[in-house]
Structure 1
Amino acid sequence: MHAHTLTRWQHSHDFITINNKGEQRTRYVLLLTAVTMVAEIFAGSIYGSMALLADGWHMATHVAAFMITIFAYRYARKHANDPAFTFGTGKVTVLGGFSSAVALAVVALVMVVESLERIMNPQVIHFNEAITVATIGLLVNLVSAFMLKDEHAHHHHGHTHEHNHRHDHNLRAAYLHVLADALTSLLAIIALMAGKHAGWNWLDPVMGVVGAVVITRWSYGLLRETGPILLDASIEKEYRRKILDAIEKDADNKVSDMHIWKVGANDYAAIISLVTHFPNATEHYKNLLRPYEQLSHVTIEVQECKEPPCITPQLSGQPLQR
């Protein structure tokens, strides 16, 4: 029976991205967006501007998205050491980003439907009033984007390993929502100005469609970033090949099975099984992977090959899963 503790062989499973400043600024942006949303929906309905009304309504979904962002931060922090989560709550903020990306896609769809309806059934637009409210909305969005942009690229991580490039998909989603707001406000102003001075009232709903297309692209990009993480997609092929080479260039090691997947926005876990005639302690193989800082949780299985020649899975017809 062991008389000593296991602390030496244990480590944290906390892979969450801690971004207190980003969370606080998201709250401020939430408040600004909510106030502007009410003003734009009210003004768009009274003054008959589809571009302005669309901006107000999709701001409502952004308010919901910001609430998701804040909830994800709090939930991940609260349950960071909860044993119910095998690898911690590192993916909670990624899930928040994915949910916000879906919300962006819904915004784009609603904008297209409403814009097409306005193209088929034009309405009278009160240009001066609508331009004033849209301009206020644009200013609010620019201020919000500046607040979130500062923290978008600079934050630290709760795990003990520090990497050069960190990702906070939760905050990135909030940032994209603000950019979508700013874009639609700008398009609304352009359309309203063209309608007022050139009589191009048709441009108002057309700008709604243009904005929807751009927002859809942003949504798709964020879905591509977060989706694979939630589905345990593996690491990039080039990086995986380097990890494989680091193991197999040592002695006569052959990797028989290897699984690498993300357990958070910036951390990977790896399970590697290898066969060798000259087995070492697992710490030896972990040291071979020490330069690959993205690997935050590594499990090594060593199998001794006692009967040469040792047939690898490739030679025996069994594909190597990597």
Structure 2
Amino acid sequence: MSDFNDAAFGAGHDHIFLGSAHEQNERRTWAVIALCSAMMVVEIVGGSLFGSLALVADGLHMSTHAGAMLIAALAYTYARKHATDSRFVFGTGKLGDLAGFTSAIVLAMIALLIGYEAVSRFLSPVPIHFGEAIPIAVVGLLVNLASVWLLGGDHHGHGHAHSHGHGHGNEHGHDDHAHEDDAQKVFTASGVFDVSIFEDGVPPVFRVAPATAGSRLEAAGGAITTVRPDGSRQVFDLVERGGYLESKDHIPEPHAFKAVVRMAGGEYEVEFEEHVHHDEVDHAAIRDHNMRSAYIHVIADAAVSVLAIVGLLLARAFGWLWMDPLAGVIGALVIANWSYGLMRDTGAILLDINPDRRMADNVRQVIEDSGDKVIDLHVWRLGPGHMSAVVSVATSESHRDSRFYHAVLKRFKGLSHVTVEVQPAQAAA
């Protein structure tokens, strides 16, 4: 009889798999739409009043820019409002990827239109009104730079804390780079001590070191008993290593458990929670492609504005009228390249291609390090920063059920939804 159980970790418990900055990005996108819409109205009305066809044309161009932003904004709003809708089996986290894919298609069409217009002007040059065209291109660039600022320059930035109790120590056993919450403190009759898990290039072991100047270690050492979520216990004897105590035996994964420290004539309970290291998370798993698509739109527009300004200035200064369409061709190629990258990445997520192979490898390793066998494993992305895993495990340990493996996989904070099937090793064979 196999044990089949489903559970979700962290924010994924209610199947809400939106990015951590979802609402902030939503507000930013609407702000850019407001700016572009205001600029559009000013240019169209101003161009109509002063008889400037170029100004009206740029106003209409600004309307397509606002329309592209509208795709991203509506995706953010719809995903947020329907995040708890049970009709979406795995939430609305992928709506941003769908919007990003749509925006990539729009970008590709814009690249084609710019390229077509540029080639047409190569074949049939038209007179350029430099007095109108250059100021409009400058204004367009300023609007795009303002849009970039509103969207926020670090749209890919995501922080990942690591508070595992692992030390990265020197020859004295102290942690040169530790944060205060890396070690668990115990207060004994002999003083205050730091209890941590040390694994700097070596198999993980417990270390107990004085936390204050007056704390005294006992020569007899002590012991630490781990109590895991499934109730299993393991005792680690501590020996003196010259200024600190260290466990004789290595600590098996996962490093999420309660630890009862026996020393200085008493027992003291601490708890360790293991998190994935920030460098074990693939960037593709946390990227917000909806914000990326909005950002690419404004960057692409800014790049075209810069190329247009350069082309117009050279055309006016040296009479090189071909510089204007050449700038258009270069701009079209740049936008097409960005469009392809966005289409490739969002399309892969919509087709459930695993964007984080390291996550899958780490999930397999942490289970098989416990002596079990992973029969089947599927890992895919549900939304920015949210991964899902379906794992089938064969084990010869009768006391290990799905709860044990959920506890094992809690170390991976990027895993927001996990389904585990447990089979006896004989049945799997």
Sort the TM-score into its range (normalised by shorter chain). 0.7 to 0.9
Residues 16-43 of structure 1 show CA distances to partners (whole Å, capped at 9, x for unaligned) of 1253332222222113223445638969
Distance 2:423 2:318 in 1: 78
Q: 1:82 to 1:106 in 2, by over 3 A?
A: same
Q: Alpha carbons of 1:132 and 1:37: their partners in 2 closer, same or farther (altered >3 Å)?
A: same
SS in 2 for 1:23: helix
Equivalent position of 1:314 in the other structure: none
Superposed CA offset, 1:145-171 (max 9, x none) = 111124624689xxxx99967432211
Alignment correspondent of 1:234: 354
Equivalent positions of 1:67-146 (< 5 A) are 67-146=70-149
Larger helix share, 1 or 2: 1
Q: Which residue of 1 aligns with 2:235?
A: none
Once the two structures are superposed, residues 89-137 of structure 1 have per-residue CA deviations (whole angstroms, 9 ceiling, x without a partner) of 0111121122111111111011101111111111111111111111111
Once the two structures are overlaid, the 10-residue window that deviates more, 76-85 or 146-155, is: 146-155
- Deviations along 1:176-229, one digit per CA (max 9) or x if unpaired, are 111111111111111111111100111111111100111111112222322211
Structure 1 equivalent of residue 395 of structure 2: 276
* Aligned position for 1:179: 299
The residue type equivalent to 2:78 in the other structure is Y
Residue 122 of structure 1 aligns to a residue whose secondary structure is: coil
Do the aligned partners of 2:36 and 2:66 also contact (CA within 8 Å) in 1?
yes
Structure 1: runs of 5+ lacking an equivalent: 1-6, 312-322
Q: Is 1:224–2:344 an aligned residue pair?
A: yes
Tell me what 1:316 maps to. none
Corresponding residue for residue 303 of structure 1: 423
Gaps (5+ residues) in structure 2? Answer: 1-6, 160-274
Q: Give CA deviations for 1:50-93 in whole Å, capped at 9, x if unaligned.
A: xx96x766544322211111110111011101110001101111
Q: Is the 8 A contact 1:167 1:265 kept in 2?
A: yes
2:381 counterpart letter in structure 1: K
Corresponding residue pairs, total? 295
Paired position in structure 1 for 2:369 = 249
Displacement of 1:303 in angstroms is: 0.8
Following the alignment from structure 1 to structure 2, what is the Cα–Cα distance between the partners of residues 163 and 14?
A: 23
Equivalent in the alignment of 1:13: 15
Query: Which residue does the alignment assign to 2:187?
Result: none
TM-score normalised by the chain length of structure 2: 0.62
In structure 2, what residue type is equivalent to 1:261? Answer: W
Residue correspondence of structure 1 range 44-63 to structure 2 within 5 A: 59-63=62-66
- Report the structure, 1 or 2, having the larger strand content: 2
Worse-superposed segment, 240-249 or 145-154: 145-154
Partner of 2:155: 152
Structure 2 distance, partners of 1:177, 1:167, is 16
Task: Name the CA shift for 1:42/1:57 in 2 (closer, same or farther; >3 Å).
Answer: same
Give 1 or 2 for the bigger CA radius of gyration: 2
Distance 1:266 1:208 in 2: 37
Segment drifting more, 236-245 vs 100-109: 236-245
Counterpart for residue 215 of structure 1 = 335
Contact map agreement 2:75 2:96 (CA 8 A) in 1 = yes
Give the distance between the partners of 2:134 and 2:87, measured in 1 at CA.
52
SS in 2 for 1:299: strand
**2:307 alignment partner AA:** L
Partner SS for 1:139? helix
Cα root mean square deviation, aligned: 3.1
Change (3 A) 1:176 1:56: farther
In structure 2, how many angstroms separate the alpha carbons of the residues matched to 1:244 and 1:143? Answer: 46
% identical aligned pairs:
43
Q: Distance in 2 between matches of 1:118 and 1:111?
A: 11
The 2-side partners of 1:35 and 1:8 are apart by 44
